[in-house]
Amino acid sequence: MIGRSLLIASALLLAACSGRDEPDVVALPLAEVQQRLLEVEVPSDMFGSNPVEIEPEASGTQVRWIVRRKDEEVMRFLADLTPESAGTQMKLDLQGTKEGPFGNVERRLEKKPEIKRLYLANMREAISSDFEGRPFDRRRTYKELSSAIVANMPDINATFDRAAEQYERESRRAFHDAYARQ
């Protein structure tokens, strides 16, 4: 039993650290992998401060985690499972909605592939940590987090600039109001 757990942990650890889009192979039968995936605890804080609900479901050889906000789908993680002689091949992907209240999330993920890779790295770590029986370790996603921050630095700077401009306007207004009363 320990040998089997060590083999599973090694395979998933290698997959989690690889950052590649190649399928991972888990040394378990498909039905067991599918059941374990349905029980994976996906950390909702990987979506920032936006509260989300994550609903796992399975159909055929696929496991999906549907991410909803305010009862509307935003995106879904997909794990396509294929039986192999060594166990089960798992190919993880992420798809955003193409229409609805959140707009074309898929297009935004295509324009910012670093964000998509960050979400996938977090999901891989959620799966790996669950299969290995250890706590989720955000440090294992730092490479993808760093890439996402660098790629989005212009947007981050623009957000800070808008906040600074708003603060400046409010400060001037408050100063003006305070001295206009005298």
CATH number at residue 49: 3.30.530
Residues 93 and 169 reside in one and the same domain: no
For range 95-119, the mean pLDDT: 95
* d(C-alpha 127, C-alpha 170), whole Å: 46
The backbone torsions φ and ψ at residue 64, rounded to the nearest 5 degrees and listed phi first, read -125, 145
Nearest CA to 23 out of 82, 95, 96 is that of 82
Is the same domain home to 79 and 157?
no
Mark whether 65 and 86 lie in a shared domain: yes
pTM of the model: 0.76
160 and 126 in a common domain: no
Domain co-membership, 55 together with 80: yes
Q: Which band of pLDDT confidence, cut at 50, 70 and 90, is reported for residue 17?
A: very low
Same domain, 108 and 37: yes
Asked whether residue 14 carries a pLDDT value surpassing 70, the answer given is: no
Taking the C-alpha atoms of residue 141 and residue 122, their distance in angstroms, rounded to an integer, is 6
For residue 143, the one-letter residue type is K
pLDDT attached to residue 21: 59
- Considering the domain architecture, whether residues 140 and 172 belong to the same structural domain is answered as no
Same domain as 83, residue 24: yes
Nearest to 19 by CA among 156, 132, 113, 131: 113
Name the domain count of the chain.
2
74 with 33, same domain? yes
Verify that 22 and 71 share a domain, yes or no: yes
CA distance 116 to 148: 9
- pLDDT tens digits for range 118-172: 999 999 999 999 999 999 999 999 999 888 888 888 878 888 889 889 998 988 8
Distance separating alpha carbons of residues 35 and 23, to the nearest angstrom? 18
> Does 43 lie in the same domain as 15?
yes
Interval 28-46: pLDDT, tens: 999 999 999 999 999 888 8
- Of 86, 96, 146, nearest to 116 (Cα)? 96
Q: Domain range for residue 73?
A: 2-151
Is residue 77 domain-shared with residue 165, that is, in the same domain?
A: no
Are the C-beta atoms of 66 and 171 separated by less than 8 Å?
no
